[in-house]
Amino acid sequence: MIRNARLEDYDQVEKIMQQTQHLHVEWRPDIYCNVETVCPKTHFENLVQNGEAIVYTEQDMVIGIAFFNERIVSGGGMKVAMKTLFVDSMAVLEGYRGKGVGHALFDELKAIAKQKNCTGIELQVNAKNDKALKMYKDYGFTEKSINMEIYF
Handedness of CA 31, 34, 39, 41 (dihedral sign): negative
Residue 78 has pLDDT above 90, yes or no: no
Cα–Cα distance measured from residue 11 to residue 9, given in angstroms and rounded to the nearest whole number: 6
pLDDT at position 79 is 76
Predicted TM-score (pTM) of the model is 0.90
**Structural domains of the chain sorted by starting position, each given as residue range(s) with its CATH number in brackets:** 2-139 (3.40.630.30)
pLDDT at 63 over 80: yes
Report which of residues 111 and 143 the model is more confident about. 111
Between 31 and 88, the more confident residue is: 88
Q: Are 85 and 116 in contact (CB under 8 A)?
A: yes
Asked whether the predicted pLDDT for residue 48 surpasses 90, the reply is: yes
Give the per-residue pLDDT at 74: 78
> Residue 43's pLDDT is what?
97
Pairing of the two strands 82-92 and 61-73: antiparallel
Residue 127 three-state SS: coil
The pLDDT of residue 76 is above 80: no
